[in-house]
């Protein structure tokens, strides 16, 4: 039986599972691997902090996601399909691991964040 997202350990499990999918994904993997050349040892802890702050208001994230996405868009044009696919993968990953109020909340927050970043990046 699945549990809800309860703590940072659960966030880490989600983020690791999600980015394992992203790295191999035919639609968006190249953006992370070939264009952004993500250093996963640095990126994953930032994402743990980001999502922990989003879900549990930990206050331990500092960064500028908008700047990073705009820079990436300048290197390789992104479109609405990229953002939708990212969101679909994220939701699928959440659903495969968790269920409950926080699981639903993180999917909703991810969708809202993706829409804002997409709008500001592509406009």
Choices 2.70.150.10, 1.10.490.10, 3.40.1160.10, 2.40.50.100: CATH for 8-122: 1.10.490.10
**What confidence tens digit (pLDDT) does each residue in 34-60 have?**
999 999 999 999 999 999 999 999 999
Every domain of the chain and the residues it spans: 8-122
Token code pair at residue 110 = 């991810």
- For the packed helices 80-97 and 101-122, what is the interaxial angle rounded to 10 degrees? 170
**What confidence tens digit (pLDDT) does each residue in 16-41 have?**
999 999 999 999 999 999 999 999 99
- d(CA 42, CA 72) in angstroms, rounded, equals 17
Token code pair at residue 82 = 């990229």
Report whether 110 contacts 91 (CB < 8 A): yes
Mean pLDDT in residue range 84-113 = 98
């Amino acid at each position: 039986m699945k549990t809800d997202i309860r703590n940072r350990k659960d966030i880490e499990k989600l983020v690791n599972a999600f980015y394992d999918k992203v790295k191999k994904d035919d639609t968006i993997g190249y953006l992370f691997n070939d264009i952004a050349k993500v250093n996963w040892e640095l990126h994953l802890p930032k994402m743990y902090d980001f999502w922990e702050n989003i879900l549990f208001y930990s206050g331990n994230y500092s960064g500028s996601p908008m700047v990073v996405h705009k820079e990436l868009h300048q290197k390789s044009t992104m479109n609405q399909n990229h953002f939708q696919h990212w969101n679909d993968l994220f939701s699928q990953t959440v659903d495969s691991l968790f269920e409950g109020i926080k699981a639903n909340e993180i999917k909703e927050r991810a969708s809202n964040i993706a829409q804002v970043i997409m709008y500001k990046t592509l406009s």
